[in-house]
Amino acid sequence: MVSPQTIIEQVFNSVDIKINGSRAQDIIVHNSDFFPRVLRQGSIALGESYMARWWDCKELDQFFFRILTNDLEAYVKKNKMKMIAPFFKSFLLNPQSPKKAWVVGKVHYDIGNYLYTKMLGKTMAYSCGYWKNAKTLDQAQENKYGLICQKLGLKQGMSLLDIGCGWGGLAKHAAKNYKVKVIGITISEEQAALARELCKGLSIEIKLEDYRDLKGQFDRIVSVGMFEHVGSKNYRTFMEIVTKLLKEKGLFLLHTIEKTKKGEGVDPWIGKYIFPNGQLPSPAQIMESSENLLIPQDFQNISLDYDKTLMAWYKNFNTHWNEIKNKDPEKYNGTFKRMWDYYLLSCAGAFRAGTINVSQTVFSKGGLNKTYNCVR
């Protein structure tokens, strides 16, 4: 009988990863239980065993880039090897129901504003930056804010709704530079508290609210990095609500991470430790959910910019780790650091490999008075 170690070695060799090798993408295994555990449980075991210090890698982003670029799962099936475990799981219920929608706020976004201020930089943008003509993370995020505002055609006196406003960075940029009135909503108490402080003195109202409870009419609507928490069972509802809230001939910009293939599920480790109840839409699902409601005017894929953004976050996180750790040593312990490193670098590798994308889609309601001007 072939041993679990032999099977894992064979699979990793197929994507040029060596067990106990010395290159950037190779892994060093400290605990032999790693092999049967990964064989039984797949991706969730890979992440949990890394958190437990059972293995190490010089550059996790390179490790994941090789796995995802070479389609490790397809190799295993082709060679009729026992499948390590499905990398994705199906949702049988609605994990993004109104009650459950608040879970990710508590688990992920409420873990401490201090950590995010150190990792994200002065813009407090927790989404993909736009690196065209940018040399720093802050410049890339300011570019992203500017790009979104230009795509929306913001003008003084307009009303803007920001669904999933985070710490208020985009709302602040829009209110300061375009003199618009902004309402931003979030499901994170920590985000709402800091956003109100950062946006003080501007025409901005920050609400702790689920998108399904929104009321009013707006000239423009934007949602950046929030649609990943909506869930496929609710995509149509989300688009119906946006349509109802948007004024006639208004514009809606959706900035979201997408998966390249349609299908239910999320990586089990990410779902358990980072974004509970998260689900990435496919481009087809976005178009289907908006059909007969909104008219698509523009689409832009900026996936490679997220690789750069994640690596910049990783650098900031590690540069300021001692400060973060000293803020709350019990919460920010060694296991937390390995979990966060694994999260940031595995996602960077995935964007680099092209298995997930990030896009900006502009929709209009009821057509436009003139041709839409695509901004780049």
**What pLDDT sits at residue 142?**
98
As a whole number, mean pLDDT of residues 33-41 equals 91
Two structure tokens written together for 22 = 């010395």
pLDDT at 82 over 70: no
Residue 276: pLDDT band (50, 70, 90) is confident
As a whole number, mean pLDDT of residues 306-331 equals 97
Give me the CATH topology for the region 100-364. Rossmann fold (3.40.50)
**What pLDDT sits at residue 103?**
63
**What pLDDT sits at residue 54?**
98
As a whole number, mean pLDDT of residues 283-297 equals 96
pLDDT at 90 over 80: no
**What pLDDT sits at residue 74?**
63
Residue 158: how many other CB atoms lie within 10 Å: 19
Residue 19: how many other CB atoms lie within 10 Å: 16
More confident residue, 266 or 156: 156
Please identify which of the residues 149, 165, 199, 347 carries the catalytic annotation.
347
Residue 97: pLDDT band (50, 70, 90) is very low
Residue 94: pLDDT band (50, 70, 90) is very low
Residue 263: pLDDT band (50, 70, 90) is low
**What pLDDT sits at residue 112?**
86
| Residue in this structure with the two tokens 């009821």, named with its chain if needed | 366
pLDDT at 321 over 70: yes
**What pLDDT sits at residue 122?**
96
pLDDT at 366 over 50: yes
Q: Is 149 annotated as catalytic?
A: no
pLDDT at 85 over 60: no
* Ranges 153-162, 233-242, 261-270: which has the least confidence: 261-270
Q: Which stretch, 37-51, 63-77, 315-329, has highest mean pLDDT?
A: 315-329
**What pLDDT sits at residue 205?**
98
As a whole number, mean pLDDT of residues 336-352 equals 96
As a whole number, mean pLDDT of residues 219-227 equals 97
pLDDT tens-digit map of 123-146: 999 999 999 999 999 999 999 999
| Residue in this structure with the two tokens 């720093």, named with its chain if needed | 136
Task: Reduce the secondary structure of the chain to three states and give it as a string.
Answer: CCCHHHHHHHHHHCCCCCECCCCCCCEEECCCCHHHHHHHHCHHHHHHHHHCCCEEECCHHHHHHHHHHCCHHHHHHHCCCCCCCCCCCCCCCCCCCCCHHHHHHHHHHCCCHHHHHHHHCCCCCCCCCCCCCCCCHHHHHHHHHHHHHHHHCCCCCCEEEEECCCCCHHHHHHHHHHCCEEEEEECCHHHHHHHHHHCCCCCEEEEECCHHHCCCCEEEEEEECCHHHCCHHHHHHHHHHHHHHEEEEEEEEEEEEEECCCCCCCCHHHHHHCCCCCCCCCHHHHHHHHCCCCEEEEEEECHHHHHHHHHHHHHHHHHCHHHHHHHCCCCCCHHHHHHHHHHHHHHHHHHHHCCEEEEEEEEECCCCCCCCCCCC
Q: Are 16 and 41 in contact (CB under 8 A)?
A: no
- pTM of the model as a whole: 0.91
More confident residue, 95 or 75: 75
**What pLDDT sits at residue 79?**
62
**What pLDDT sits at residue 323?**
98
Spatial CB neighbours of 360, under 8 Å, sequence gap ≥ 6: 147, 148, 151, 253, 254, 255, 298, 299, 300, 302
pLDDT at 63 over 60: yes
**What pLDDT sits at residue 71?**
65
Query: What Cα–Cα distance (Å) separates residue 171 from each residue in 49, 131, 182?
Result: 40, 20, 6
pLDDT at 234 over 50: yes
Q: Are 253 and 152 in contact (CB under 8 A)?
A: yes
More confident residue, 95 or 77: 77
CA pair distance 189, 161, nearest whole angstrom: 19
* Ranges 68-82, 194-208, 266-280, 359-373: which has the least confidence: 68-82
